[in-house]
Structure 1
Amino acid sequence: MIIQKGRPYIYSTSQPRCMIDATRKSLNILSLDKSRYKKLHENITYFNDACKIKKIPTNLNQVL
């Protein structure tokens, strides 16, 4: 866990355990069911294309 410290406050930048567990579960589902992986990338492409049409800047990072 990473702890950020400042004079007025101390807080943790780590994710809650439930978020970590949900992320692991979703990655497991994607690795087992290729149709979901394909649909995810179709949705990403759709989103990026819509942003280009509306001239909304995006930071495109492809995660495989």
Structure 2
Amino acid sequence: MLVYQALRVSREAAGPVALKVAMAPGDERFVREGVLLSRLRHPNIPALEGRGNWRHSRGISPYIAMQ
């Protein structure tokens, strides 16, 4: 799993997000983390900004974007 600091396209003023990208496309733990983050609301847990699949030259990798 890789973690990057990223800016939202066309919403740069909103500030950066943490972008986690899975190394393996079928990692069920990564998918489960996205589902759980979407259900949680707590001041000490980063809020989920979005999730999906990132297409790149080596294939497709799931990602999670968090505050």
Q: Which has the higher strand share?
A: 2
Is the TM-score greater than 0.5? Answer: no
TM-score by length of 2: 0.30
Larger radius of gyration: 1
The higher relative CO (CA closer than 8 Å, separation ≥ 6) is in 2
